[in-house]
């Protein structure tokens, strides 16, 4: 059973994209939940590519004859809605890019645009772990693993309204057991009467301190 938005009680809720921030800097996490995330600039082409990839894969829902470049074998599952799960007194939510039910279990797939790194960054690893947690809490097991698929602009013929891309998959193990302690920590941070201490190596906090000193002069 998948718990969609209407099935979850109103509670403190965070997304899988916030899990790593709980570890990186408790103050920034607290601030994002109390005030809202800092404004950011997102490349429109990235959003458009993500939509185009999902639209291309949508006809494959319920099928096993996936494109030759797709790195995971199995049945492509309809996962168009967000998943929710309650744990440690806090609600976690997330929306997967793609999900495949293979012979060895479910594969979590996330689309990325840009140059692939040598290894999966902590931020993306935590996202995969968070998705695994959501799937398990919604009785979708076992979890076989996760896979990031990077779409990188490549050199080649760009005539006929086509632009070549290099497709690079990065498979990863997932560990859903990491999530519950982070949710418990997130709840303690949000329930505290005063803001938590910032991390010493937090770039955003250091920038805010510099701004504060300039404005106070």
pLDDT at residue 203 tops 70: yes
The first and second tokens of residue 42, run together, are 């997102």
pLDDT digits (tens, 9 = 90+) for 35-68: 776 666 556 778 888 999 999 999 999 999 999 9
Q: Helix (H, G, I), strand (E, B), or coil: what is residue 106?
A: strand
pLDDT digits (tens, 9 = 90+) for 7-41: 334 468 899 999 999 999 999 999 888 877 666 65
Pick from 23-32, 74-83, 103-112, 200-209: least confident: 200-209
Mean pLDDT, the chain, integer: 88
Please provide the distance, in angstroms rounded to a whole number, between the alpha carbons at the two ends of the chain: 58
Q: Which of 120, 174, 181, 170 minimizes the C-alpha distance to 143?
A: 174
Confidence of residue 162 (pLDDT cuts 50, 70, 90): confident
Domain parsing of the chain, residue ranges: 5-216
| pLDDT value at residue 39 | 63
Confidence of residue 211 (pLDDT cuts 50, 70, 90): confident
pLDDT digits (tens, 9 = 90+) for 76-92: 999 888 999 988 889 99
CA 14/CA 3 separation, integer angstroms: 15
What count of other Cβ atoms lies within 10 Å of the Cβ of residue 31?
20
Say if residues 133 and 170 touch (Cβ distance below 8 Å).
no
| pLDDT value at residue 40 | 60
What is the CATH topology of the domain spanning 5-216? Lambda Exonuclease; Chain A (3.90.320)
């Amino acid at each position: 059973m998948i718990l969609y938005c209407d099935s979850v009680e109103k509670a403190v809720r965070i997304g899988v994209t916030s899990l790593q921030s709980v570890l990186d800097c408790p103050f920034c996490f607290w601030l994002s939940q109390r005030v809202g995330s800092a404004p950011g600039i997102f490349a429109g082409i990235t959003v458009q590519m993500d939509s185009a990839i999902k639209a291309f894969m949508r006809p494959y829902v319920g099928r096993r004859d996936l494109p030759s470049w797709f790195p995971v074998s199995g049945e492509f599952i309809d996962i168009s809605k967000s998943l929710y799960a309650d744990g440690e007194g806090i609600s976690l939510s997330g929306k997967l890019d793609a999900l495949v039910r293979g012979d060895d279990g479910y594969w979590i797939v996330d689309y990325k645009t840009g140059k692939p790194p040598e290894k999966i960054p902590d931020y993306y690893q935590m996202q995969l772990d968070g998705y695994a947690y959501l799937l398990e809490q919604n009785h979708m097991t076992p979890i076989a693993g996760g896979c990031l698929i990077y779409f990188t602009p490549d050199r080649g013929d760009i005539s006929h309204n086509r632009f070549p891309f290099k497709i690079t998959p990065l498979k990863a193990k997932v560990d859903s057991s990491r999530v519950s302690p982070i949710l418990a920590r997130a709840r303690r941070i949000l329930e505290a009467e005063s803001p938590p201490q910032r991390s010493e190596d937090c770039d955003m906090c250091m920038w805010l301190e510099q701004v504060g000193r300039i404005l106070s002069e």
